A and B are shown apart, each in its own frame.
Chain A
């Protein structure tokens, strides 16, 4: 795991700020690390040099590397309170489709990466094309909702 500094750190912060409108002051509070195909987030820790712990992973995977990045569901949920942009508000039917693993029609005119929101809850990420929004919520989190 490598802690990102300077330009690389700024690239992560700028990306999250411009895509979701998360304030830079908020993003500046954290440490970002790179390992494998992911960018990870953790808090600023004074007691220990995290690189010296030789851990396999540190913190939460918030982005995947993909020219430049691809947001993760865990990442957008972590910043849930601060997300202002690229949000689509889904209805009951769309929520059910998403949780079952299906894509939904793009009735929002959205483009690029978006966050699915349902009554204020951040459900996960998707990628919009002209016709549909591709469901990027991890399979392990697409449990069907119980019939009440």
Chain B
């Protein structure tokens, strides 16, 4: 089922736990939603959904996120969904915005934003104030971003369509915070889409890694001094995570890693992979394994530009 090389790589990190990891990687994902607090109070929304017989379980790392326990197929057809009171979003994918913690009236860059799940979440955290510049290269995906923002009633998002690698030329040192939810080999999405596995190869991982380094380098240049950057991917490949952060960290003397604290089961970032040793502070980044919280896999790093 899983390519041999894929398994071999994880055995190096997880040892005996690899089987459990693969078992979780093959299970379907639990469905989860976020209440759109721009349109409705969490308690009011819960009351309405419960009246429809939909059972919800709170996701520990957010006040407005819930796992859907019953009637899974139906949630998309509820009036609450049609009116944009709720948004279907995977539980682990809610973590990067929480780590970035954008505040009201700030200026934020969402460098690889489409289809805008995290953009919408940030807009809610900012209570529709300030401005999020949402960028993506894909026309098609920007269309869904626009659609999602409209449905959620978001007014603080401006949309641009450029190659994120060069955004720093246009917006040097401009933003209070930058989110780079990078394109990746999407290993973490295997639970959602088995096709990912057919496209997976060590070559893809290397290619993504190069792109991610350029994007993160650009993200660092876009943030103002004193500002923060969150780098996230939905893969656990070290070449696309710790190695990317380590490479960019070495290029910028004013950059440091900040420890992430979040009420989810996380594991520290690697400080060594194959022949390469990383900066010890990479330990303060987090790996979210599917078997730990029964979510999608994720990697998240928080950086401060001093």
Q: Which chain A residues have a beta carbon within 8 Å of chain B's beta carbons?
A: 30, 41-43, 45-48, 50, 53-61, 74, 77-78, 80, 99, 118, 121-123, 140-141, 143-146, 148
Contact mask B69-83 → A, CB, 8 Å, 1/0?
Answer: 000011011110111
- Asked if B208 is at the interface (CB within 8 A of a chain A CB), the reply is no
Whether A48 contacts B83 by the Cβ 8 Å rule is no
Whether A146 contacts B77 by the Cβ 8 Å rule is yes
Contact A50:B131 (CB < 8 A) given known A55-B159, A77-B83, A146-B77: yes
Contact A56:B159 (CB < 8 A) given known A47-B107, A48-B131, A145-B79: yes
CA distance A78 to B150 in the complex (A): 9
| B79 surroundings in chain A (CB, below 8 A) | 118, 121, 145
Contact A59:B77 (CB < 8 A) given known A47-B130, A141-B82: no
| B52 surroundings in chain A (CB, below 8 A) | 148
Minimum-distance CB pairs A-B, first 8: A146-B77, A55-B158, A58-B158, A146-B74, A59-B155, A60-B155, A74-B150, A47-B107
User: Chain B's interface: helix, strand, loop or mixed, by majority?
Assistant: mixed
Whether B149 contacts A60 by the Cβ 8 Å rule is yes
Whether A43 contacts B156 by the Cβ 8 Å rule is yes
CA distance A146 to B76 in the complex (A): 8
* Selected contact of B129 from candidates A43, A53, A123, CB within 8 Å: A43
CA distance A59 to B158 in the complex (A): 6
Q: Name 22 A/B residue pairs within 8 A (Cβ), A-sorted.
A: A42-B156, A43-B128, A43-B129, A43-B130, A43-B131, A45-B107, A47-B107, A60-B154, A60-B155, A74-B151, A77-B83, A118-B79, A121-B83, A122-B83, A123-B83, A141-B151, A143-B82, A145-B77, A146-B73, A146-B74, A146-B77, A148-B52
CA distance A146 to B54 in the complex (A): 12
Q: Could you say which interface size class chain B belongs to? A: 35 or more
Whether A99 contacts B82 by the Cβ 8 Å rule is yes
CA distance A91 to B82 in the complex (A): 17
| Nearest Cβ on chain B to A79's Cβ, whole angstroms | 10
CA distance A145 to B82 in the complex (A): 9
Whether A143 contacts B77 by the Cβ 8 Å rule is yes
* Selected contact of A60 from candidates B81, B129, B150, CB within 8 Å: B150
| Nearest Cβ on chain B to A102's Cβ, whole angstroms | 15
* Selected contact of B78 from candidates A53, A54, A140, A146, CB within 8 Å: A146
Which residue of chain B is the closest to A122 with respect to CB atoms? B83
Which residue of chain B is the closest to A137 with respect to CB atoms? B82
